[in-house]
Chain A
C-alpha cells in the first residue's frame, strides 16, 4: 500500500521529466544540443494556462502548450540550424526569453507578477478494475500519464525503427554522409528540434494542468534535470525515461523526508551528482552523438 502510493508519486513526478528528456534525445540524436528544454517547458506551461483560461477547456490548453512549445523550438532551430549559431548560447537565450516573456505575459494578462488565475485541469478517467487500486487507479486515470507511457514506446520506435529515425541519427552522427545521400540536414534537424519542442511543451502542459495555474518560474530547473536524465539514459528514449523514474523516486523520497532530521536537501542534489559521475565515466560511458553540437555548414568542405 505504502509502496504503491510511493511508486505512484514517483511516476507522477517523473512524467514531465520523461517527456522533456525524450524530446532532448530526439533533438540531440539529430545533432542539436537542447539546453532550451527549461524555457520550452516554461512557455508550454503558460501556453496551457492561457489556452485553458480563454477557452475553459484543458484540452485546448494542451493544444496551446504544444503550439507554444513548437514555436520556441522553432526559434532554437532557426538560430542553430539555419544561422548555425552556437547551440548552447541559443538554448540559454531561449531560457532567458521564456522566463522574461512568461513574466511579461503574467503581468499583461493576469495583472500579477507571481501567478495566474486558477484554470481547469484535465479530466480524470475512471478505468475499470484499476479504479479501486490505491495509487495506481488515480495515476493511470490521468490522460497525460497514460500518454507519456505510450510515448516512451512510440519515441523509441520512431528513433530506432522508422526511416525518419534512421535519417535523424545519421544527421547527428555524420551529417555530411547524410547530405551525400541527398537528404536535407537542415530539414531533418528542424524535425528533431520541433518534435523536442512538442514533447517539452507537453511536459509544461502537464505541470500547469496538475497545478491548475501558472506561477513565475514554475519549472524550477526541471528542464535541466530532464537534460541530465537524457545523458544518464545515454541519449535513448527508454533509458532517459528510466533515469527520469529514478530521479522521480529520489524526489518523492526527499518530499517524504522533508522536515525530518535527514538532510533532504542533499537528496535533492543526487540526480545532479549521478549525472556528473556518469559523464566522468564512473558509471558506464556516456557518448554523445558524434556531431552533437556542431553546426552543419555545407560550405565547410
Chain B
C-alpha cells in the first residue's frame, strides 16, 4: 500500500480546488453523462469534435478530489488529440489505474497522468479516477451516457481485488 501522499499529491489537490475546463461548452457537438451509482458521483463531458479531432473539451459535475482532478487533467490531455490518439490514451489510462499497465516499464503516452497510478492501490477509488475517462470515451463513440456500473468485468474486478 502506498503512502497517502502518493494518492493526494499536490497536483491532484490543485486540480480539485481549481479544476480546468470546468464549464459547459457552448457549441459542443458531443455531450456525455457519467454516473457512478455506488457513490453518486456525476459529471457531464462536453466535446467539440471536428474532422476527427477533439477541438474543445470541458466538464461539469460533482465528485471527490480524485474524480474531479482526473476529469480536469483529462480535458487538458485530450484536447487537440485525434479520435485515435484519444482512444489510445483512454486505454492506457484505464490499464494503468487497474494495474494492467506498468507505466514505468511499458511505453505509453501518459506523461503527467502517471500521478494517478497510485489509485490502483485503492481499489474502491479506481472508479473515481476512471469515470471522466469513460464518459469522454462515450462522447468519442457518440454515446450519451456512461456509468461505472456496466463498464465490464475489468473494472469490477479491479474494485474487488487487492
Partners in one complex: no
